[in-house]
Copies of this chain bind each other. A is one copy, B any other.
Amino acid sequence: MGRQAKKDKKSKSSSVPKNDVAEQLHDIYGSFQKCLDLREKYMRVSCQRVGDNPSNNDDWIIYPPPPPPSWPPPENPGRVWDGPKSIGSDFIKEEVPIPGMWDYLFELDDTGVYQVYSSKEDMDAKRPIVNVPKPKEYFQDLDFVFSVISDGPIKSFAYRRLKYLENKWSMYTLLNEYQELADSKRVPHRDLYNVRKVDTHVHNSACMNQKHLLRYIKAKVKKTPEDVVLSRDGKDLTLEQVFQSLDLTAYDLNIDTLDMHAHKDTFHRFDKFNSKYNPVGESRLREIFLKTDNKIKGRYLAEITREVISDLEESKYQMAEYRLSIYGQSEDEWDKLADWVVENKIFSPNVRWLIQVPRLYSSYKAAGTMHNFEELVQNIFKPLFEVTRDPSKHPNLHIFLQRVVGFDSVDDESKAEQRIYKKYPFARNWDISMNPPYSYFLYYMFANIASLNNFRQKRKFSTFVLRPHCGEAGDTDHLISGFLTSFGISHGITLRKSPGMQYLYYLSQLGIAVSPLSNNALFLNFERNPFPNFFHRGLHVSLSTDDPLQFHVTKEPLIEEYSIAAQIWKLSNTDMCEIARNSVRHSGFESKIKKHWIGENWYLPGVPGNDMGKTNVPNVRMAFRYETLQEEIDMFKRRKKTRQQRQRQQRVATNASGEQTEQPK
């Protein structure tokens, strides 16, 4: 309708004077509503809504189980949680039930999307269990949203609504600050420190801080120098030999030599930031210490990760969703990654995983290891359909996937992109050296996840959400792709440049994990970060660390992130508790766990969804947020009515001038 609206306006502007404000508003409302409906369609078809995921059912069994609640004190004291245990000690692989095979079938279709069929007949008749939007439909929807948010009147409208939301917040906060404080004080036990916070965006290879990694490396060099850690030119090298070849001793090493902190020299230099992942600038050390798939089968990274998780568990109230990489260079990556997690028993009630897929097609193409984009899709998704069809063939992968909550898409968004106009080549036809644009990547992630999720939902396995890096830099169309395809996004700071898009993100309450310290080192100075505006206006934002190794200084990166935001933007304790609550809602932890953390009805909007005793967010705040949002959404409906009323009135008036044949109902 937006396009239609645009055309209408165009023709109108040339013929009829545009003084019918109500009419214009009606068009605007219609366009926004259509955008929201589109998003709803994509979420529904891909099973990304909260209720779609079997792991959000109350009968879902989390294994190993989370620690029992410590309050109120249980009657049978045997159940009391007696502090964190050794990570993974409660995981016994043999105890995990591994379901058998289903005779569903799947195949890659012409466009490059896996289709699942419940039987051979369905397959022959091309009747998949779900009709995922084709590339053409997706790009047309993308264009539609694009036309809406680039429309002048819509832009000013959205801009004014956002300003209005911000002013409304100011009024609210001036009038209710003391009330909120009084309410918070009345909640026993809870405060900023012991409400649950999820670090919604953090990369596993950078989850430790620089000091931690340094200490670990030093300890390894001192204590187990004879570990064989690398093969080069057919020769095995010990850790000692590697360090000798670098002319370094454990004592020499320091943070400066390690040189992994992105700080002054990475601003607008994503390339340099990427190379910071190499300790001492040596990719060998990155391979040894920060990879899951290497000579030592990722043992070092597993050990460090367990140490970091142990700190998380000790903090009790801090959780994290770590990103692990699947590159899509070969099909066995999944099994290796699953082995890494399962064999090293990296299971914790405080941790869930996301899979990050770097957008590196052009590199593989350049290296000659890949011919077209379809191969990438195949390497990433085929094993997932296989394991969903028959978990017993990949038991570790099946176990691992129970703890994977979603997918992330990562790379430098600021890279220049060539646009695709008229034609949308299918994956197998994308065989040029150039990387496909962001929106193309996201489509193939989305479409295959949609098929997969429907399959997994039928099998009552956990489903996945798409939560890509989106809007860290680059053009607005990244944000549109994210809006259509993704449950949530990371960063989103370019929303500051597009009021229309920002307003849509507000209306849909799409979760945004912002990492201001990361932005500060890479793309946007802290004081210019739009996070406070987003938060005031009511966008569903949370705070996350991205890469503690690169950006943080203290031992508690997430608290550091909260602290700096609070200090610089003068966030109140209630603000921080609301952000913490957002982070839990936005996260992929199972509904059962969220109920324990933030309330029995956490998925409901407004006051009914808030359990102040758990979240420490006063109901008055929740009511304000809910009513404000509802007012915006109702506005669309009211205006629609008004127009119908007006039409009816017009009709009545017309008839009245002749003969009145119809009574208004």
Contact = CB atoms under 8 A, between A and B. Distances in A.
A264 interface: yes
Interface stretch (A104-112, A196-204, A395-403, A549-557): A549-557
A477 B204 CA distance: 55
Given A564-B564, A564-B567, A189 B559 contact: no
Interface string A70-98: 01000000000000000000000000000
Contact of A570 (B187, B254, B263): B263
Interface in A234-271: 249, 251-257, 259, 261, 263-265
Interface in A595-636: 616
A192 B209 CA distance: 13
Interface in A524-572: 526-527, 552-556, 559-560, 562-564, 566-568, 570, 572
A564 B563 contact: yes
Contacts of A566: 263, 553
A552 B556 contact: no
Nearest to A574: B256
A616 B256 contact: yes
A559 B559 CA distance: 13
Interface residues of A, number: 49
A637 interface: no
Contact of A264 (B194, B252, B563, B570): B570
Interface centre among A193, A255, A256 (most CB of B within 10 A): A256
A65 to B, nearest CB: 25
A211 interface: yes
A214 B189 CA distance: 10
A193 B556 contact: no
Nearest to A258: B191
A263 B570 CA distance: 7
A559 B554 contact: yes
A126 interface: no
A555 B185 CA distance: 23
Contact of A188 (B189, B190, B251): B251
Contacts of A264: 177, 570, 572
Contacts of A572: 263-264
Contacts of A214: 191
A563 B568 contact: no
Interface in A479-503: none
Nearest to A267: B570
A165 interface: no
Contact of A563 (B185, B191, B527, B554): B554
Contact of A568 (B193, B265, B568): B568
B563 A252 contact: no
A476 interface: no
Contacts of A555: 554-556
A255 B191 contact: yes
11 contacts: A185-B254, A185-B256, A187-B254, A190-B254, A264-B570, A264-B572, A553-B566, A553-B567, A554-B554, A554-B555, A568-B568
